Every structure is written in C-alpha cells, then in structure tokens.
Amino acid sequence: MGRQIAVIGGGAAGMMAAIQAAGEGAAVTVYEKNERVGKKILSTGNGRCNFSNEAMGAEFYHGSGTALADGILAAFGVVQTKAFFASLGMRIRDRDGYLYPASDQASTVLDLLRYELDRRRVTVHTGEAVRTVSFDRDRKKFGIGQQGEDACYDAVILSCGGRAAPNTGSDGNGFRLAERFGHRIVRPVPALAALVCKESFYRQVAGVRCDAALTLLVAGKEVCAERGELQLTDYGLSGIPAFQLCRTAAYALLDHKSVTVRVSFLPDLDEASCESFFRERLAAHGEDEMDVFLTGIVNKKINRLLMKLSGIRENERAKDVPAEAFVRLRKHYLKLETVVTGTNGFDRAQVCAGGVDCAEVTTCLMSKKQPGLYFAGEILDIDGQCGGYNLQWAWSSGTAAGRAAARKERL
C-alpha cells in the first residue's frame, strides 16, 4: 500500500498536489474547510481563469522563494501544465501568451480537477477545517485533528493559502500550523490590490479607465514602474499597473516609509515631446476655450481635473492661459504625484505576499524543520505578477510537493 498523505487545503495547489501524489501511488486525503474544493479558482481571470502564461520565469515572482522558483518551474512549467490540462480534455486558448480554457469558463478548470481527483480515488473531506497538526516521533506519523477526529499520515502537505480573499477560505490558518513546527512567517500583506490615495479629487474621475504609466517612489526614490490600463476609483488607483505596485507599497507603508506614485497620462511622451505637442496644438487651436482645446487628449474627466489642479478655467481661451499654468498642466499630464496611504485589504486582494520563509524549505518544498511536512501554493513566501503566474505557481509547487511526499523525499 502506498504512503498515506494528507493535503490540507483543497485549492488549486492542494488539488494538484493530491492528484500528483495519487499518481505516484499514494493514498491521499484532502481536507477543505469550504463546502466544495477550488472555490477561489472560480473568481480568477474575471471568471475565465487565466491559468498560466507563455512568458514564464522566476523574474515574474517576488519574495524569498524567487531562487527556489527557477527549479520548481523548470521541473513542471508551462509546457507540462498545458500537457496536463490537455490530457484531462481541456482545449486551451492563447491570448497574446495569456492562457485560458477555450470555454472561457473557470469552472472548466475546476471541474476537470475534481473529476481527476475522483479518477485517482482521492478522498475529499469538505466542510472540515484542520486546526491542529502534530508529529509523533515514536510512530513517525502525523496526527491530523479536525472536529474531534484524529487521523494519522506519513506526510502532510500544507496548501491552505495565505490571507487573500478570506471568503474563499484563506484566513491565515496555514501560517499558524506552520509556526507550530517552528517556521518563520514573513509578514503577510495584500498583493495585487488597489492603492488607496490621500487626495480627495479622485471622486471627480471615478470609473475612468485609461492607458497610463505608474512610477512608485518610496522615501522619494523610484523603486519600480508599470504601464497598462489604469482604473481610477473614488479612493485612488486600481487596475493591473496599480496591482503590480501593491506589494512593494504595502511593505514600505508597513515600515512607516512615505509612498507616492507618479502617474503619466501620456506615457508615450517625454517632457520635450509633450511641450512640442502643446506648442503645436496652441498654434492651431489657440482661440478655443480650454475645455475644447484639450478634447481628444485623454478622457474628458481627466482633462477637467488636470485643468483644475493647474489653476486653469474650462472657459478660458487657450491663448490667454499664462505660460506658467501651461507648465503646470503639462507636468500633471506627465507626472501627477499622488500620496499612497494604504492598499485595499486582504478581502479585496487577489493574492497574499509573505508567508512561510522559503529559506526553511528544501528544493522539493519539504520543511527543513520537520521532515515529511511539505508546502505548496500561496502559503509560501512567493507571489507572482498578474497574468496567470500565481496559478502556475500553484500547479508547479503542488506537483513538486505531491510527488516528493509520495516518493518520501529526504533532506
């Protein structure tokens, strides 16, 4: 009989770990606190499930596990992931390297994983939250206690997520279980979440989407930059470029550092080309009122906001606007600076940064502190950018942990 393995957490990483371990001949039991497995998968990719990306590598990840990611992704990366889902019967759609099920339904991915769990005879307990995990050194077995019932296993895989989207089950319980085995938890913060800003003017442009470049400054120094479709909300900055800056901003704020973002609404122009653009426009349309003069540059709500911030009246003729006011206007189009006071919370974050320190796990994701204890997915201190990277980490890390647990990998 194969090894007895418990997987705690039936999300993307947990299901993959269970499937791979069962494929190696192990008897696998999954414990999931929700009433069904894979709840979080249904919300990924706006319900379409961007499950991976053709552009893949450790450079798309953050945290203490970036060096570890190279080997994990090399062993089971995009090619293997596509082959795996194709073998389950899923057709794949490639959108500029972003990979989705051809059905455009996240439920397709979840259903196929559930069917595979059944085919591989994985036992699944739903509605059961595991509160304690212990190790009997005499018997060399793990004890799983849930709702008063004890069960013993040769290995345990913790794949119960971080703290993002707690309504899907990720409430930080996995961190507490890992800490009981002596693991250090890198401070968790929301990642891939919107930025909350100090200024009140955002209410004037809430709901606007536009192409923009964002530069994050920590204590006055530029640390990272992103470009893409910015979504302006009544409280600040959202959309993919803001999400990509979130984890860095969150850690800086946690360390009580000042955080600002420079927004360029004309990301294809530098200062010289912007000045030339406005000079030519002024020569051709100087008689127009400013509201008309700026029409067509960017969204009208943004134009009006930047005029107001520059001290320019909407009904003022362009040729009558003082030169210094035009300088302020150009600066706002290219470098509108906004103060970041926070991020959206874990309840509105797509992923959690932080987690189990990856320096404390082996290359097969086994604990260096407790042999037989493995980790997979978001519980580890590694998080990816938008674009299918976090689900790819779930497939890759789940495979590594599941196969290693079944094969009884050692330190």
pLDDT, tens digit, for every residue of 18-27? Answer: 999 999 999 9
Q: What is the pLDDT of residue 351?
A: 95
Look at residues 3, 39, 1, 33 and name the one whose alpha carbon lies nearest to residue 18: 3
Q: Give 141's strand partners.
A: 136
Distance CA 66, CA 55 (A): 16
- Strands 195-197, 236-238: pairing is antiparallel
Average pLDDT of the residues in 401-411 = 84
pLDDT of residue 149: 57
Average pLDDT over residues 107-116: 98
Please give the domain boundaries of the chain with CATH numbers for all domains. 4-189+353-407 (3.50.50.60), 194-344 (no CATH)
pLDDT of 327 over the 70 cut: yes
What is residue 230's three-state secondary structure?
Answer: strand
Reported as a pLDDT band with limits 50, 70 and 90, residue 59 is very high
Q: What mean pLDDT comes out for the span 185-206?
A: 97
Which ranges in 212-270 belong to alpha helices (H)? Answer: 240-254
Q: Cα–Cα distance between 375 and 364 in angstroms, integer?
A: 9
Rounded Cα distance between 180 and 376, Å, is: 17
Query: Confidence band (pLDDT; 50, 70, 90) for 368?
Result: very high
Task: Say which range, 39-48, 248-257, 267-276, has the weakest mean pLDDT.
Answer: 39-48
> What's residue 146's pLDDT?
62
Q: Above pLDDT 90, what percent of the chain? A: 92
| pLDDT interval class at 411 (50, 70, 90) | very low
**Is 246:194 a contact under the CB 8 Å cutoff?**
yes
Continuous segment of H or E residues that includes residue 145: strand 141-146
Residue-wise pLDDT for 174-195, tens only, equals 999 999 999 999 999 999 999 9
Averaged pLDDT of the chain: 95
| Per-residue pLDDT tens digits for 257-289 | 999 999 999 999 999 999 999 999 999 999 999
For residue 148, the model assigns a pLDDT of 47
pLDDT band, residue 147 (cuts 50/70/90): low
User: Which distant-in-sequence residues (6+ apart) come within 8 Å of 6 by Cβ?
Assistant: 28, 29, 30, 31, 142, 144, 151, 153, 155, 156, 157
Check pLDDT > 70 for residue 392.
Answer: yes
Alpha-carbon distance of 125 to 148, in angstroms, equals: 14
pLDDT over threshold 80, residue 58: yes
What is the average pLDDT across 336-351? 96
C-beta separation of 5 from 152 below 8 A: no
The pLDDT score that the predictor gives to residue 150 is: 67
